[in-house]
Structure 1
Amino acid sequence: MAPRRTTTKPPKNPAPPAPAEPVVCSPCDGSGMVATTVRVGRKRRPVGQQDGLCLNCLGTGLAPDA
């Protein structure tokens, strides 16, 4: 009689890896908008800020290198 096998076989199809979390864009912190200083006058003095599109991620909020 053959000896009994005491170890188990590894699974044939291992579980797929979990999807990675999307990395947020650092300049806009994932919002897609950044504050841009508004300058007016001959001496170009700053008077306030307005929202502008993040040029790093182009408004998606996700890091482009990920």
Structure 2
Amino acid sequence: MGVWAASQVLPKLQMQHYPISTCTAINGTPFPIDDSRGIPVQVFRATLNTLSEKRLINSDYGCAVQGDIKPFSC
């Protein structure tokens, strides 16, 4: 979702003369939930329907510790 978020925020920051000269994205898309250009809708919905704190703790997602989920803060 980072590339999509950047596509929403960066133009507004540039209009406010925020000093951004270049941006580089790797493995992202401005179409995060899209059957042909991003995550297929069915896959996204299935992920949401099965997502829970317990599944995050028992997965390899970030460095979750029971009761204190902090993804990507290793």
If the length of structure 2 is used for normalisation, what is the TM-score?
0.19
If the length of structure 1 is used for normalisation, what is the TM-score?
0.20
Decide which structure has the larger Cα Rg and report it: 1
Larger relative helix fraction: 2
Of structures 1 and 2, the one with the larger relative CO (CA 8 A, separation 6+) is 1
Larger relative strand fraction: 1
